Structures are given as structure tokens and as C-alpha cells.
Structure 1
């Protein structure tokens, strides 16, 4: 193995339910075009991490557009997860969501979005974990990445720790 090579080890799959309705569109200000989606809850499942996503966090995303008509989103999520054994973990992540113009109508339709091929849009995140619980202290030093997929009720992430 090459020195310095990255290896990704599965950490968990996270299903996040968003509050019903469209995101709150704050509109284009002099600074950005922001919208907010609130987290209603969710589930964390994996060999190394499992529990639930607590209600109350959200995504303060910024919208943009590519020269080809694609929708570009800067993701900015803050949430609290609680493990199956009671540890609380503050989870934040940024990322990128790029939706080609021809995919956008199906992506926005909850009845069609789950039928979209996973490679029809680009959805990547980099979560950061923070906890005071010693059992999960290893998360404080972990660099993680994830792939995202929109679901009818929210989003699903497959998250990997880099070693």
C-alpha cells in the first residue's frame, strides 16, 4: 500500500426526515440566496454508530446556478444525534449538491425522486463530529465523508471514516 493513501471505512447510514413542506426560501439578499430546511428526526444505523437524529437541527443552504442550467447548492447542516446507548453527538457538515437541469423536475418531486439513478446528480458531504462522551471520543478526531441521496421525506447519507 502506498504511504499516505486514504482508506474509507463505513461508519453509518443516516436517514434524515425533514419537516413537511418546502424549504423556507429567504430569497436573494445582497450576500446570498439562502433557504432553510428543518430536521424533524431520523435514524442512524451502522456497525460503529447507531441511534437517532434528534428533531430541531436544520440545513441553512445556499443556492446557485451553473452556466449549464444545473442547480448548485452549498450545504450547511447542524444537528444532534443520540446513540443507542445515550451519547449525544453534535454533527455539522458542509457539502455540495449539483443537480443537472434535466434532472431537476424529478429531483423536486417526492413521487419521482427515489426512482432517480444515484449517479444522476452529485451529492457529497464532509461531516464533523463533536462529543463529550468518552465512549465516542474517537469521533472527535475522525475525518469523514459521505454520499447523499434525496428521499421522499428527506435525505439519506452513507458516511465513511477516512483512515
Structure 2
């Protein structure tokens, strides 16, 4: 039996605008930070829309400087459908690179690892395919935003 090989189909570039992080502080699991999501855009051939304010990244920063990502937010497509997005991922790199990222410097995203699993849902039948598809992303942390390329596993 031969199983199908995995392929990636680029769906969209996602640009998530962020507010300043709220520092919850040290916990048993790491330093908890809540980063409010204030807006943004999704731009692709099959998915286009506006990210609505109100979501957040409930992240944990670990002793080694790595960050566990846990976001939930909503987008409204350009044709009026609502889409729920949730990401789960990790960002890590050398201490120097992570310090530069945290300081808001422009750092080439190839200098650190920032990958996401992305879950999308919509009650709009035109976007039912989102709920039946697995997604992954390669991301970059910008000064006041995160950008990622969203890929469907085909």
C-alpha cells in the first residue's frame, strides 16, 4: 500500500496586528504573557478578509527563551463570512536572536524557528472546507505584528 505524499498549498499571508503584551508573570509553566490582537488582514486567492480586534495570544515564555504560542481570534472575510482562527506553535532561537526579537529589532525570520499549527472554522457553507482541512504556517515576529504564510496540507 502506498500512502499519498503530503503537499503544501499556500492559502494566504496573514498579518496580525498586536498591542503591548500584558505581563501576567512567572507561573509553574513559564512566564505568562497575554498579547492582545487589535486587527490585521488575510490576503490570498481563496481566503481574504479583515482580522477583527478582540483576540489574543496567551503565550508562555520558558527559561530557555522559547515561547509557546496559543492564539484565538476572528476574521470577517471580504464577502461577509466569519472565520475563527486558533494557532498553536513555538518560537525559539539563540539567546542573542531572541533578545533582538524581544527588543523589537527587525530580525530575519530565517534566524529563528517560528512555526504554527492553525485551526480554522466557519459556519458559512462557502468556507466549510476550512474546517475539513489541516493547516500549518511559517511565521515572523515584527515590531507590532506577526506575519505568517498559511498552508493547507494537501
Counterpart of 2:17 in structure 1 is 17
Q: How many residues align?
A: 153
Aligned-residue Cα RMSD (Å) equals: 1.3
The answer for the alignment partner of 2:33 in structure 1 is 35
Tell me the TM-score normalised to structure 1 length: 0.89
Residue among 80, 83, 87 paired with 1:86: 80
Structure 2 gaps of 5+ residues are none
Q: TM-score, normalised by structure 2?
A: 0.94
Unaligned runs of 5+ in 1: none
Match for residue 131 of structure 1 among 122, 138, 152: 122
Q: Does the C-alpha gap of structure 1 residues 30 and 105 become closer, same or farther in structure 2, counting only changes over 3 Å?
A: closer
SS in structure 2 at match of 1:86: coil
Map 1:1-163 → 2, pairs under 5 A:
3-19=3-19, 21=20, 23-66=21-64, 71-110=65-104, 112-113=105-106, 116-163=107-154
List 4+ stretches of structure 1 deviating above 2 A: 29-33
Q: 1:32 to 1:107 in 2, by over 3 A?
A: closer
